[in-house]
Amino acid sequence: MSTVESYDPEPSDRRDPLIAGLGALATGAPAGLLDRVAARWVRVDAAIGDVYVAMTDQGVAYLRAEQDEDEFAASFRSRFARPLLPGGSPPPALVRALRTGRAEGLHLDLRGLRPFEAAVLRAAATIPRGEIRPYAWIAERIGRPKAVRAVGTALGRNPVPLLIPCHRVTRSDGLIGQYVFGMPAKERLLRMEHVNLDEVGTLAAKNVYFVGSDTTGVVCYPSCRDARRITPAHWHGFRTLGQAERAGYRPCRHCRPGGAAP
């Protein structure tokens, strides 16, 4: 910190770096220091209703749909050791992200996450709007194929839901799965993003979890944008990825069923 470096200690301070450091803190704080320490909260109208959002100087750090600012502050403090101050009006980029569901380019402050959690969220962030992937897909992608349940736990702790679209992660058996804001909200969000949940359900009822085209020999998750273009005459459903592969299909490079590496 420039304050500490530029501080000219009194002779008596010279031997003790701690005293010198404390002294530096006592001299004038530079403008902006407060915002490097404190977070600011704002309220934004999101697709699921009003949410509270905390931002640091690095970006958006926390988003929750609490009842009021006190409740939000309490949940923020139970997780972050940093003061929370009122932040005025929300940045346009944030408002846009929460209204459109497109968070590209928005800065997030994800410091403090465990490496596993960070990996899970990074994978979740790659799921395009309008598509869904299973929890097991994330587990595969991050190289922990059996940590499926831990993936759910990590997503449940997503500090910035909506911005990192954990609602696009659903169960392998075709059910929606749990969600921080509740299952109904998850379903509403997905329908809003034009995920055809009715089709997903219909297929699941028939034990179809993968679909392929016999012209391209490519197999996809049903919600994959490429799967939605398969001509009915060439459409084939599969229960497992293995069955599709045995039939000569290879995983789609876009939705990467099974979590295949790039």
Query: Catalytic: 166?
Result: yes
Q: Any contact of residue 161 with DNA (CB under 7 A)?
A: yes
**Residues 177-216 within binding reach of DNA (CB under 7 A):** 177-180, 186
What is the pattern of x (binds DNA, CB under 7 A) and - over residues 106-135? --------xxxx----------------xx
Instruction: Map residues 138-157 to x or -, x wherever contact with DNA holds by CB under 7 A.
Output: ------x-xxxxxxxxxxxx
Would you tell me the crossing angle of helices 183-192 and 197-205 to the nearest 10 degrees?
A: 110
| Strand ranges (E), the chain | 39-46, 49-56, 59-64, 84-86, 133-134, 169-170, 210-213, 218-220, 235-238, 250-251
Q: In the complex, what is the shortest distance from the CB of residue 174 to DNA, in angstroms, rounded to a whole number?
A: 9
Q: Which is nearer to DNA, 91 or 159 (CB)?
A: 159
| Closest listed residue to residue 121, CA positions, set 53, 168, 76 | 168
Which listed residue (166, 220, 252, 255) is catalytic? 166
The least CB distance from residue 70 to DNA, in Å, is 20
Q: How far is the CB of 144 from DNA (least distance, A)?
A: 5
Residue from 136, 185, 218, 224 in contact with DNA (CB under 7 A) = 136
Which is closer to DNA, CB of 132 or CB of 230?
A: 132
d(CA 211, CA 214): 10
Q: Which residues of 123-151 are buried (b: 16+ CB within 10 A; e: fewer)?
A: bbbebebbbbbbbbbbbbbbeeeebbeeb
Measured CA to CA, the distance from residue 158 to residue 139 in angstroms comes to 16
Min dist. Cβ of residue 81 to DNA (A)? 13
Window contacting DNA (CB under 7 A); options: 40-48, 63-71, 167-175, 194-202: 167-175
Calculate ∠ Cα 28-29-34, nearest 5°: 155
Residue placing its CB nearer to DNA in the complex, 40 or 133: 133
Catalytic residue ranges? 166
